[in-house]
Amino acid sequence: MSYADLTFSNLATIDTPQIPILRVGPEDTEPPRRAVEALNDGQVIIYPTDTLYALSCRIDRAQAVRRVFAIKRRPTSEPLPVLLADPSDLDAYAEDLTAAARRLAARFWPGALTLVVRRSSRMPGLITAGGPTVGLRVPDHPLARALIRAAGVPLVGTSANSHGRPDPRTAQQAIVDIGNQVAVIIDGGRTRAGMPSTVVDATADPVRVVRAGAIPTGAVLA
């Protein structure tokens, strides 16, 4: 059995605690209340996006952000990506935007493109490892965006896997890896892209592709 073949039926052979799993369908656009309450209580949750499952918390809950770093086994010197609910939120959390950044946001958001831009004062330094930039994305997933809106602030949006583990395309994969360390998991089935977002440094023009991903490099640079 491969990692990608894990299902809830064969999870019975794996030692996992009782985990609150909230199952949603593709037609569901209202975020589960329990997940919203967990976020607002400063807890960490897992939910699906258009690319991968996200390990997430509110950006303004420092203890929860530190928890994300710990769960991921990610050094706090490495910035965390952030998910926005709508493209119009870009100006609130970024500044000195280049024409290229605005052009890419207009073209690919919502979608699998993360833009590295200069952060505004509203973006906590813990998220950016104290640096001047932040990676922002608007996911093309109605439930994920509704969850961000319900929280009222952007959410950390790093992939729900620990360092060195495969990208989580299903809730089951996230559960096996780190599911016993979060408050709530939303299971929305297999993610559409099944791979990370494309990351672009948009602080300069021309832009630079930092990480290849779901959107082909050629499409970004066209």
pLDDT given at position 28: 85
pLDDT given at position 17: 57
pLDDT given at position 15: 47
List phi, psi (to 5°) of 95: -145, 165
- Rounded to 10 deg, the angle between the 142-151 and 33-40 helix axes is 40
Residues of the chain with pLDDT under 50: 1-15
pLDDT given at position 29: 85
Cis amide prior to 110 (ω within 30 degrees): yes
| Cα-to-chain-centroid distance, residue 23 | 18
> Which domains can be identified in the chain, with CATH numbers?
3-221 (3.90.870.10)
Q: What angle do CA 210, 47, 5 make, to 5 degrees?
A: 85
List Cβ neighbours of 136 (8 Å cut-off, separation of 6 or more): 81, 82, 83, 84, 90, 93, 94, 114, 115, 117, 154
Rg (CA), the chain: 17
Helix (H, G, I), strand (E, B) or coil at 155: strand
**8 Å CB contact between 18 and 161:** no
Cα separation, 222 vs 52, whole angstroms: 25
Helix (H, G, I), strand (E, B) or coil at 70: helix
Cα separation, 133 vs 125, whole angstroms: 10
List Cβ neighbours of 27 (8 Å cut-off, separation of 6 or more): none
pLDDT given at position 19: 79
pLDDT given at position 112: 98
